[in-house]
Amino acid sequence: MASRELTTIILAAGEGTRMKSARAKVLHEIAGAPLLAHVMETASAAGSSALAVVIGPDRDDVADMARRFAGKLDIKLDVFIQTDRLGTAHAALQAGALLQAASGDVMIAFGDTPLLTPATFEALRQSLREGADIAIAAFTATDPSGYGRVLAQGDQVIAIREEKDASAEERQITLCNGGLMAISARHALRLLKQVGNANAKGEYYLTDIVEAARTEGVIARAVVVDEDELRGVNTRAQLADAEALMQQRLRREAMEAGVTLVAPDTVFFSHDTVLGNDVWIGPHVVFGPGVSMAGPGEILGFSHLAGCRIAAGARIGPFARIRPQTVLGENSHIGNFVEINRSTLGADVQANHLAYVGDAEVGRGSNIGAGTITCNFDGADKHHTRIGRDVFVGSNSTLVAPITIGDEVLIAAGSTLTKNVPDGALAFGRARQSELDGKGRDRVIANQAKRAARKARGA
Protein backbone atom coordinates (compact mmCIF):
# COMPACT_ATOMS: atom_id res chain seq x y z
CA MET A 1 0.00 0.00 0.00
CA ALA A 2 1.34 3.44 -0.92
CA SER A 3 2.39 5.55 2.05
CA ARG A 4 -0.04 8.27 3.13
CA GLU A 5 1.05 11.88 3.14
CA LEU A 6 1.42 13.63 6.48
CA THR A 7 0.58 17.27 7.10
CA THR A 8 1.53 18.62 10.52
CA ILE A 9 0.11 21.76 12.14
CA ILE A 10 1.90 23.05 15.22
CA LEU A 11 -0.02 25.42 17.48
CA ALA A 12 2.40 28.01 18.85
CA ALA A 13 0.28 31.09 19.52
CA GLY A 14 0.18 30.84 23.32
CA GLU A 15 1.41 33.89 25.20
CA GLY A 16 3.12 31.89 27.92
CA THR A 17 2.37 34.44 30.62
CA ARG A 18 3.39 32.01 33.37
CA MET A 19 6.95 32.07 32.02
CA LYS A 20 7.08 35.76 33.06
CA SER A 21 9.20 36.57 30.03
CA ALA A 22 9.14 38.97 27.10
CA ARG A 23 10.31 36.05 24.97
CA ALA A 24 7.62 33.89 23.41
CA LYS A 25 7.16 30.65 25.32
CA VAL A 26 8.03 28.45 22.35
CA LEU A 27 11.37 30.26 21.92
CA HIS A 28 12.64 29.19 25.32
CA GLU A 29 15.23 26.47 24.86
CA ILE A 30 16.08 22.99 26.01
CA ALA A 31 19.06 21.01 24.74
CA GLY A 32 20.26 23.97 22.73
CA ALA A 33 17.12 24.53 20.64
CA PRO A 34 13.78 26.34 21.09
CA LEU A 35 10.80 24.28 22.23
CA LEU A 36 9.14 24.83 18.87
CA ALA A 37 12.22 23.60 17.01
CA HIS A 38 12.06 20.27 18.84
CA VAL A 39 8.47 19.73 17.72
CA MET A 40 9.34 20.74 14.15
CA GLU A 41 12.26 18.33 14.14
CA THR A 42 10.01 15.50 15.33
CA ALA A 43 7.41 16.32 12.68
CA SER A 44 10.07 16.26 9.98
CA ALA A 45 11.59 13.00 11.23
CA ALA A 46 8.09 11.47 11.26
CA GLY A 47 7.79 12.10 7.53
CA SER A 48 5.75 15.29 7.29
CA SER A 49 5.59 16.50 3.70
CA ALA A 50 3.99 19.81 4.72
CA LEU A 51 4.38 21.74 7.96
CA ALA A 52 2.48 24.72 9.35
CA VAL A 53 3.07 26.79 12.46
CA VAL A 54 0.27 28.93 13.91
CA ILE A 55 1.61 31.91 15.85
CA GLY A 56 0.17 34.87 17.70
CA PRO A 57 0.08 38.44 16.37
CA ASP A 58 3.25 40.55 16.42
CA ARG A 59 5.43 37.48 16.76
CA ASP A 60 7.83 37.90 13.88
CA ASP A 61 10.51 36.43 16.14
CA VAL A 62 8.66 33.10 16.27
CA ALA A 63 8.00 33.15 12.53
CA ASP A 64 11.65 33.93 11.75
CA MET A 65 12.91 31.15 13.99
CA ALA A 66 10.46 28.66 12.47
CA ARG A 67 11.50 29.57 8.93
CA ARG A 68 15.21 29.31 9.73
CA PHE A 69 14.77 25.92 11.33
CA ALA A 70 12.56 24.67 8.49
CA GLY A 71 15.40 25.60 6.15
CA LYS A 72 17.79 23.43 8.15
CA LEU A 73 15.28 20.58 8.02
CA ASP A 74 14.68 21.16 4.31
CA ILE A 75 10.92 21.02 4.78
CA LYS A 76 8.20 23.26 3.35
CA LEU A 77 6.74 25.58 6.00
CA ASP A 78 3.64 27.77 6.10
CA VAL A 79 3.15 30.30 8.91
CA PHE A 80 -0.36 31.36 9.93
CA ILE A 81 -1.37 34.02 12.45
CA GLN A 82 -4.11 33.60 15.05
CA THR A 83 -5.04 37.24 15.58
CA ASP A 84 -7.73 36.52 18.20
CA ARG A 85 -6.95 33.77 20.66
CA LEU A 86 -10.28 31.94 20.71
CA GLY A 87 -9.04 28.45 21.52
CA THR A 88 -7.10 25.57 20.05
CA ALA A 89 -9.67 24.54 17.42
CA HIS A 90 -9.80 28.16 16.26
CA ALA A 91 -6.00 28.17 16.07
CA ALA A 92 -5.93 25.03 13.94
CA LEU A 93 -8.50 26.56 11.58
CA GLN A 94 -6.09 29.40 10.80
CA ALA A 95 -4.29 26.79 8.69
CA GLY A 96 -7.53 26.07 6.82
CA ALA A 97 -5.94 26.59 3.40
CA LEU A 98 -3.40 23.87 4.17
CA LEU A 99 -6.11 21.57 5.55
CA GLN A 100 -8.16 22.08 2.41
CA ALA A 101 -5.26 20.82 0.30
CA ALA A 102 -4.16 18.04 2.65
CA SER A 103 -4.44 14.36 1.86
CA GLY A 104 -3.61 11.33 3.94
CA ASP A 105 -3.12 12.20 7.61
CA VAL A 106 -3.17 15.49 9.53
CA MET A 107 -1.26 15.78 12.80
CA ILE A 108 -2.02 18.62 15.20
CA ALA A 109 0.66 19.22 17.83
CA PHE A 110 1.56 21.91 20.33
CA GLY A 111 4.75 23.96 20.14
CA ASP A 112 5.46 23.63 23.86
CA THR A 113 5.76 19.80 23.91
CA PRO A 114 9.43 19.26 23.06
CA LEU A 115 9.67 15.63 24.21
CA LEU A 116 7.45 14.18 21.48
CA THR A 117 9.09 11.46 19.36
CA PRO A 118 8.59 10.30 15.77
CA ALA A 119 7.56 6.91 17.19
CA THR A 120 4.50 8.48 18.80
CA PHE A 121 3.56 10.21 15.54
CA GLU A 122 3.80 6.80 13.89
CA ALA A 123 1.69 5.12 16.60
CA LEU A 124 -1.14 7.61 16.03
CA ARG A 125 -0.91 7.21 12.25
CA GLN A 126 -1.00 3.44 12.66
CA SER A 127 -4.29 3.82 14.53
CA LEU A 128 -5.66 5.71 11.51
CA ARG A 129 -4.46 2.97 9.18
CA GLU A 130 -6.27 0.43 11.34
CA GLY A 131 -9.65 2.12 10.96
CA ALA A 132 -9.79 5.13 13.29
CA ASP A 133 -10.57 8.54 11.80
CA ILE A 134 -9.16 10.39 14.81
CA ALA A 135 -6.32 9.16 17.02
CA ILE A 136 -5.65 10.91 20.33
CA ALA A 137 -2.44 10.65 22.31
CA ALA A 138 -3.47 9.87 25.89
CA PHE A 139 -1.70 8.94 29.10
CA THR A 140 -2.61 7.49 32.45
CA ALA A 141 -1.91 10.14 35.07
CA THR A 142 -0.97 9.51 38.68
CA ASP A 143 -2.52 12.90 39.41
CA PRO A 144 -4.95 13.94 36.63
CA SER A 145 -5.58 17.40 38.08
CA GLY A 146 -5.61 20.07 35.39
CA TYR A 147 -5.82 17.68 32.44
CA GLY A 148 -8.68 17.03 30.06
CA ARG A 149 -10.21 13.59 30.70
CA VAL A 150 -10.65 11.03 27.93
CA LEU A 151 -14.14 9.51 28.03
CA ALA A 152 -14.40 6.13 26.30
CA GLN A 153 -16.93 3.45 25.47
CA GLY A 154 -15.22 0.21 24.59
CA ASP A 155 -12.30 0.97 22.25
CA GLN A 156 -13.76 4.30 21.09
CA VAL A 157 -13.36 7.77 22.55
CA ILE A 158 -16.69 9.55 22.86
CA ALA A 159 -15.46 12.85 24.33
CA ILE A 160 -12.59 14.73 25.89
CA ARG A 161 -13.76 16.82 28.80
CA GLU A 162 -11.72 19.80 29.98
CA GLU A 163 -11.42 19.76 33.78
CA LYS A 164 -13.37 22.98 34.22
CA ASP A 165 -16.29 21.41 32.38
CA ALA A 166 -16.01 17.91 33.85
CA SER A 167 -18.45 16.45 36.37
CA ALA A 168 -17.24 15.14 39.72
CA GLU A 169 -17.46 11.59 38.35
CA GLU A 170 -15.53 12.48 35.19
CA ARG A 171 -12.77 14.06 37.26
CA GLN A 172 -12.05 10.65 38.78
CA ILE A 173 -10.94 9.36 35.37
CA THR A 174 -7.15 9.03 35.11
CA LEU A 175 -6.89 8.60 31.32
CA CYS A 176 -5.96 12.10 30.21
CA ASN A 177 -5.58 13.98 26.95
CA GLY A 178 -1.97 14.51 25.87
CA GLY A 179 -2.72 17.15 23.23
CA LEU A 180 -1.27 15.45 20.17
CA MET A 181 -3.98 14.39 17.70
CA ALA A 182 -4.00 12.71 14.29
CA ILE A 183 -7.00 13.15 12.00
CA SER A 184 -7.79 11.64 8.64
CA ALA A 185 -7.37 14.52 6.19
CA ARG A 186 -10.74 13.87 4.58
CA HIS A 187 -12.48 14.77 7.84
CA ALA A 188 -10.17 17.34 9.44
CA LEU A 189 -11.37 20.67 8.06
CA ARG A 190 -15.07 19.77 8.17
CA LEU A 191 -14.97 18.58 11.77
CA LEU A 192 -12.93 21.55 13.00
CA LYS A 193 -15.53 23.90 11.56
CA GLN A 194 -18.23 22.13 13.58
CA VAL A 195 -16.56 22.73 16.95
CA GLY A 196 -18.56 25.15 19.13
CA ASN A 197 -17.70 27.21 22.20
CA ALA A 198 -20.38 26.20 24.70
CA ASN A 199 -18.01 25.74 27.62
CA ALA A 200 -16.84 27.51 30.77
CA LYS A 201 -14.27 29.64 28.92
CA GLY A 202 -16.28 30.27 25.76
CA GLU A 203 -13.43 28.95 23.61
CA TYR A 204 -13.29 26.62 20.62
CA TYR A 205 -11.47 23.57 21.99
CA LEU A 206 -9.69 21.20 19.65
CA THR A 207 -10.73 18.38 21.95
CA ASP A 208 -14.41 18.99 21.13
CA ILE A 209 -13.74 17.64 17.65
CA VAL A 210 -14.35 14.19 19.16
CA GLU A 211 -17.97 14.91 20.01
CA ALA A 212 -18.46 16.58 16.62
CA ALA A 213 -17.10 13.41 15.01
CA ARG A 214 -19.38 11.16 17.07
CA THR A 215 -22.51 12.82 15.73
CA GLU A 216 -21.38 11.75 12.23
CA GLY A 217 -20.29 8.26 13.20
CA VAL A 218 -16.63 9.15 12.75
CA ILE A 219 -14.45 6.87 14.88
CA ALA A 220 -12.01 8.26 17.47
CA ARG A 221 -9.59 6.10 19.43
CA ALA A 222 -6.95 6.75 22.09
CA VAL A 223 -3.31 5.71 21.83
CA VAL A 224 -1.70 5.48 25.26
CA VAL A 225 1.73 7.16 25.43
CA ASP A 226 4.24 7.66 28.24
CA GLU A 227 3.25 10.72 30.24
CA ASP A 228 6.72 12.28 30.15
CA GLU A 229 6.70 12.46 26.37
CA LEU A 230 3.51 14.54 26.37
CA ARG A 231 4.65 17.08 28.94
CA GLY A 232 3.88 20.67 28.05
CA VAL A 233 6.01 23.58 29.21
CA ASN A 234 4.18 26.50 30.80
CA THR A 235 6.52 27.60 33.60
CA ARG A 236 10.25 27.92 34.23
CA ALA A 237 10.06 24.92 36.54
CA GLN A 238 8.47 22.82 33.79
CA LEU A 239 11.17 24.06 31.40
CA ALA A 240 13.80 22.70 33.79
CA ASP A 241 11.90 19.42 34.10
CA ALA A 242 11.78 19.08 30.31
CA GLU A 243 15.50 19.81 30.08
CA ALA A 244 16.25 17.09 32.62
CA LEU A 245 14.12 14.54 30.78
CA MET A 246 15.63 15.45 27.41
CA GLN A 247 19.15 15.13 28.82
CA GLN A 248 18.33 11.69 30.21
CA ARG A 249 17.13 10.66 26.77
CA LEU A 250 20.18 12.07 24.97
CA ARG A 251 22.62 10.49 27.43
CA ARG A 252 20.97 7.11 27.06
CA GLU A 253 21.02 7.37 23.26
CA ALA A 254 24.70 8.33 23.29
CA MET A 255 25.68 5.39 25.48
CA GLU A 256 23.59 2.97 23.42
CA ALA A 257 25.45 4.28 20.34
CA GLY A 258 28.86 3.41 21.79
CA VAL A 259 29.86 6.53 23.73
CA THR A 260 31.32 6.24 27.22
CA LEU A 261 30.01 8.73 29.79
CA VAL A 262 31.99 8.48 33.01
CA ALA A 263 29.49 10.55 34.99
CA PRO A 264 26.36 10.70 32.79
CA ASP A 265 24.32 13.02 34.97
CA THR A 266 26.98 15.74 34.67
CA VAL A 267 27.20 15.75 30.85
CA PHE A 268 24.89 18.03 28.89
CA PHE A 269 24.12 17.51 25.21
CA SER A 270 22.47 19.58 22.52
CA HIS A 271 19.71 18.13 20.41
CA ASP A 272 22.08 17.80 17.44
CA THR A 273 25.25 16.48 19.11
CA VAL A 274 26.82 13.72 17.02
CA LEU A 275 29.45 11.45 18.59
CA GLY A 276 31.14 8.44 17.01
CA ASN A 277 31.82 5.03 18.50
CA ASP A 278 34.38 4.88 21.29
CA VAL A 279 34.27 8.55 22.17
CA TRP A 280 35.05 8.86 25.87
CA ILE A 281 33.48 11.75 27.79
CA GLY A 282 34.66 12.81 31.24
CA PRO A 283 32.56 14.55 33.89
CA HIS A 284 31.02 18.01 33.55
CA VAL A 285 31.34 18.32 29.78
CA VAL A 286 28.87 20.63 28.00
CA PHE A 287 27.98 20.40 24.30
CA GLY A 288 26.47 23.48 22.70
CA PRO A 289 24.69 23.20 19.35
CA GLY A 290 26.46 21.94 16.26
CA VAL A 291 29.12 19.57 17.61
CA SER A 292 30.22 16.44 15.77
CA MET A 293 33.11 14.22 16.81
CA ALA A 294 34.38 11.07 15.14
CA GLY A 295 35.56 8.19 17.27
CA PRO A 296 37.68 7.13 18.91
CA GLY A 297 38.46 10.23 20.91
CA GLU A 298 38.47 11.77 24.38
CA ILE A 299 36.92 14.85 25.94
CA LEU A 300 38.19 15.33 29.46
CA GLY A 301 36.25 16.95 32.28
CA PHE A 302 34.93 20.50 32.47
CA SER A 303 35.28 21.18 28.76
CA HIS A 304 32.78 23.20 26.72
CA LEU A 305 32.26 22.68 22.99
CA ALA A 306 29.96 24.33 20.44
CA GLY A 307 29.69 24.52 16.66
CA CYS A 308 32.78 22.45 15.95
CA ARG A 309 33.84 19.40 13.96
CA ILE A 310 36.40 17.05 15.47
CA ALA A 311 38.21 14.22 13.70
CA ALA A 312 39.07 10.80 15.10
CA GLY A 313 41.83 10.43 17.65
CA ALA A 314 41.43 13.89 19.16
CA ARG A 315 42.02 14.50 22.86
CA ILE A 316 40.41 17.59 24.39
CA GLY A 317 40.64 19.05 27.87
CA PRO A 318 40.34 19.12 30.75
CA PHE A 319 39.00 22.67 31.02
CA ALA A 320 39.14 23.31 27.26
CA ARG A 321 36.79 25.52 25.27
CA ILE A 322 36.15 24.79 21.59
CA ARG A 323 34.06 27.53 20.02
CA PRO A 324 32.01 27.67 16.80
CA GLN A 325 33.49 27.37 13.30
CA THR A 326 36.37 25.28 14.58
CA VAL A 327 37.69 22.15 12.89
CA LEU A 328 40.15 19.88 14.70
CA GLY A 329 42.15 17.36 12.68
CA GLU A 330 43.00 13.75 13.45
CA ASN A 331 44.95 13.09 16.66
CA SER A 332 44.93 16.77 17.64
CA HIS A 333 45.46 17.52 21.33
CA ILE A 334 43.80 20.53 22.96
CA GLY A 335 44.68 20.70 26.63
CA ASN A 336 44.18 22.56 29.89
CA PHE A 337 42.65 26.04 29.61
CA VAL A 338 43.05 26.24 25.85
CA GLU A 339 40.46 28.12 23.79
CA ILE A 340 40.04 27.59 20.04
CA ASN A 341 37.71 29.86 18.05
CA ARG A 342 36.89 29.98 14.33
CA SER A 343 40.03 28.05 13.52
CA THR A 344 41.14 24.97 11.59
CA LEU A 345 43.84 22.80 13.13
CA GLY A 346 45.43 20.07 11.05
CA ALA A 347 46.27 16.51 12.06
CA ASP A 348 48.60 15.99 15.04
CA VAL A 349 48.47 19.63 16.15
CA GLN A 350 49.07 20.15 19.85
CA ALA A 351 48.05 23.06 22.05
CA ASN A 352 48.38 21.53 25.47
CA HIS A 353 48.39 24.45 27.92
CA LEU A 354 46.93 27.91 28.43
CA ALA A 355 46.63 29.17 24.86
CA TYR A 356 44.19 31.11 22.69
CA VAL A 357 43.94 30.34 18.97
CA GLY A 358 41.37 32.44 17.13
CA ASP A 359 40.75 33.04 13.42
CA ALA A 360 43.67 30.83 12.53
CA GLU A 361 44.82 27.95 10.37
CA VAL A 362 47.42 25.66 11.89
CA GLY A 363 49.17 23.09 9.73
CA ARG A 364 49.79 19.43 10.42
CA GLY A 365 52.12 18.51 13.26
CA SER A 366 52.55 22.02 14.69
CA ASN A 367 52.89 22.71 18.41
CA ILE A 368 51.37 25.74 20.11
CA GLY A 369 53.28 26.45 23.32
CA ALA A 370 51.82 27.43 26.68
CA GLY A 371 50.67 31.03 26.92
CA THR A 372 50.57 31.55 23.14
CA ILE A 373 48.00 34.00 21.78
CA THR A 374 46.91 34.77 18.24
CA CYS A 375 46.01 38.46 18.48
CA ASN A 376 43.11 38.42 16.05
CA PHE A 377 41.17 41.54 17.09
CA ASP A 378 42.38 45.12 16.65
CA GLY A 379 39.40 46.71 18.36
CA ALA A 380 37.34 46.95 15.18
CA ASP A 381 38.11 43.98 12.90
CA LYS A 382 39.18 40.35 13.16
CA HIS A 383 42.34 39.26 11.34
CA HIS A 384 43.69 35.88 10.30
CA THR A 385 46.77 33.95 11.39
CA ARG A 386 48.26 31.22 9.19
CA ILE A 387 50.69 28.79 10.74
CA GLY A 388 52.31 26.18 8.49
CA ARG A 389 53.13 22.52 9.12
CA ASP A 390 55.61 21.30 11.73
CA VAL A 391 55.91 24.70 13.37
CA PHE A 392 57.05 24.94 16.99
CA VAL A 393 55.67 28.02 18.72
CA GLY A 394 57.52 28.63 21.96
CA SER A 395 55.76 29.44 25.20
CA ASN A 396 54.34 32.91 25.80
CA SER A 397 54.49 33.91 22.16
CA THR A 398 52.23 36.60 20.75
CA LEU A 399 51.31 36.40 17.06
CA VAL A 400 49.83 39.70 15.89
CA ALA A 401 47.44 39.12 12.99
CA PRO A 402 47.33 39.36 10.07
CA ILE A 403 50.41 37.19 9.93
CA THR A 404 51.66 34.11 8.10
CA ILE A 405 54.14 31.68 9.62
CA GLY A 406 55.75 29.34 7.10
CA ASP A 407 56.43 25.60 7.38
CA GLU A 408 59.04 24.15 9.75
CA VAL A 409 59.47 27.40 11.66
CA LEU A 410 60.79 27.64 15.22
CA ILE A 411 59.52 30.61 17.21
CA ALA A 412 61.54 31.40 20.30
CA ALA A 413 59.71 31.53 23.62
CA GLY A 414 58.41 34.91 24.65
CA SER A 415 58.41 36.33 21.12
CA THR A 416 56.03 38.96 19.81
CA LEU A 417 55.80 38.64 16.03
CA THR A 418 54.23 41.24 13.76
CA LYS A 419 55.74 40.24 10.40
CA ASN A 420 55.46 37.13 8.24
CA VAL A 421 58.06 34.40 8.82
CA PRO A 422 59.44 32.36 5.87
CA ASP A 423 59.71 28.57 5.75
CA GLY A 424 62.41 27.02 7.90
CA ALA A 425 63.30 30.15 9.85
CA LEU A 426 64.10 30.62 13.54
CA ALA A 427 62.11 33.68 14.62
CA PHE A 428 62.84 35.95 17.59
CA GLY A 429 60.68 38.84 18.58
CA ARG A 430 61.84 39.95 22.01
CA ALA A 431 64.20 42.46 23.66
CA ARG A 432 67.82 41.47 24.19
CA GLN A 433 68.49 40.15 27.69
CA SER A 434 70.74 42.22 29.99
CA GLU A 435 71.69 42.13 33.68
CA LEU A 436 72.48 44.78 36.30
CA ASP A 437 74.75 43.28 38.97
CA GLY A 438 73.39 43.28 42.52
CA LYS A 439 70.09 44.97 41.75
CA GLY A 440 68.09 41.83 42.46
CA ARG A 441 69.75 41.35 45.85
CA ASP A 442 69.17 45.01 46.71
CA ARG A 443 65.44 44.56 46.06
CA VAL A 444 65.25 41.43 48.24
CA ILE A 445 66.95 43.26 51.13
CA ALA A 446 64.65 46.26 50.74
CA ASN A 447 61.54 44.07 50.77
CA GLN A 448 62.74 42.21 53.86
CA ALA A 449 63.23 45.53 55.65
CA LYS A 450 59.71 46.68 54.72
CA ARG A 451 58.16 43.45 56.02
CA ALA A 452 60.15 43.70 59.27
CA ALA A 453 59.00 47.28 59.79
CA ARG A 454 55.33 46.35 59.24
CA LYS A 455 55.69 43.46 61.70
CA ALA A 456 57.22 45.75 64.32
CA ARG A 457 54.26 48.13 63.95
CA GLY A 458 51.87 45.22 64.31
CA ALA A 459 50.46 45.97 60.86
Give binding residues as ranges.
Answer: 11-14, 25, 82, 87-88, 112, 148, 162, 177, 234, 323, 356, 367, 370, 395, 413, 430
Beta strand 77-81 pairing with 29-30: unpaired
Annotated binding site for acetyl-CoA: 370, 395, 413, 430
Annotated binding site for Mg(2+): 112, 234
Contact between 203 and 197 under an 8 Å Cβ cutoff? The reply is yes
Annotated binding site for UDP-N-acetyl-alpha-D-glucosamine: 11-14, 25, 82, 87-88, 148, 162, 177, 234, 323, 356, 367
Task: List CB contacts of 287: < 8 A, sequence separation 6 or more.
Answer: 32, 267, 268, 269, 270, 273, 305, 306
DSSP bridge pairs for 393: 368, 411
Task: List CB contacts of 395: < 8 A, sequence separation 6 or more.
Answer: 369, 370, 371, 372, 413, 414
The one catalytic residue among 187, 353, 383, 384: 353
Active site residue 38: no
Contact between 35 and 26 under an 8 Å Cβ cutoff? The reply is yes
CA-to-CA distance for 29 and 35, rounded, in angstroms? 6
Environment class of 414 (CB within 10 Å of its CB; exposed 0-12, middle 13-18, buried 19+): middle
Q: Is 426 left (phi over 0), alpha (psi -120 to 50) or beta?
A: beta
CA-to-CA distance for 139 and 149, rounded, in angstroms? 10
Amino acid at position 322, single letter:
I
Whole-Å CA distances, 334 to 313, 323, 352, 386: 12, 12, 5, 18
Q: Which residues are catalytic?
A: 353
